[in-house]
Amino acid sequence: MASQMPRRAYLKGMLSSLALSATVAESATNAEALASRLVGKALLDAFVRMRGRTDGKTVFGWLNATRSTVIDGDIVPLCGVVAGAMQRWERIAEDRYEVTDLEIAHYTDLATGELLDTVKMPQTGRTVQVPRYRFGPTKVRFAVALDEWEEFEPVKVAANASQFAPRSSVHLVRSIGPAWAVGDDVLLRADEYGRVYPDRAKPPTVFYREWMIWRAAVAALANAGTPSVAANYSYSALSGWRPWMQMEGIKGHTAENGIGAKAERWSDCPAQFLELTRRLHPDVLDNPERALNGSLRK
């Protein structure tokens, strides 16, 4: 004889399923409602709470990406990018934040994860020295829509900064949004585009184009009183050849894609980044506030 579920147990299970369905529907509704309200100042503040902090305290973050070269449709993996940053965000106007930023990136062998000293560039076959990347502290600005020029002085950014871009005027365009809901999360788009003009009367040289999709839980983001929320992001970027690559005359660029997340402290970042940074830039780990406050460059 087939066993039968007792009526009480059946009703309890049905009610639990209905309650769960209602909770899921309510959560989705809340996410959609919150995303629809994120415009203007609310959108900017949500972005800052995802990427940084609104209370002026130092915040950290990490990125793990792959960089490839793109030449006439041929895409060749070049290196890994294991990076981290620390920042301090300050509201300087109703619609704008200024960020004190220090960035470190390690270029690694894709097979072994070891730090690269040299790399062989495709098509030219030239073996080039891979420079160490440590930029900052510098000052950068963010807004829902930002279009500005800044002067790039390599000597004021890093000892080897000219290996990444020449002394130049840089046209920067940044944008934030829109926000949209996916399940229990709110996703937010942030774009950046920069063109380097060594001489404003002549065509630009290096370019940089970045896309980031930030993701945070609606339950955390809905609490407007919290200055920071846990968040992670996906990352894609295109860039013109950097001087250190010695690719003059070759039509092409690099492409990157990866993932990352915000962190409350350096120790929350991946072990590989911490190990490489300990080897090359121990001061940044030992005294981050001092490193971030030192020799600020605008």
- Residue (of 229, 152, 145, 158) closest to 192 by Cα position: 145
Q: What is the pTM of this model?
A: 0.87
Q: Which residues are 195's β-sheet partners? A: 171, 207
List the pLDDT tens digit at each of the 298 positions of the chain: 444 556 555 555 544 443 433 343 345 568 899 999 999 999 999 999 999 999 999 999 999 999 999 999 999 999 999 999 999 999 999 999 999 999 999 999 999 999 999 999 999 999 999 999 999 999 999 999 999 999 988 877 777 888 888 889 999 999 999 999 999 999 999 999 999 999 998 989 999 999 999 999 999 999 989 999 999 999 999 999 999 999 999 999 999 999 999 999 999 999 999 999 999 999 999 999 999 998 544 4
Rounded to whole angstroms, the Cα distance separating 60 from 83 reads: 11
Kindly give, in sequence order, each residue whose CB lies less than 8 Å from that of residue 245, ignoring residues fewer than 6 positions away: 121, 128
Categorise residue 36: left if φ over 0, alpha if ψ from -120 to 50, beta otherwise: alpha
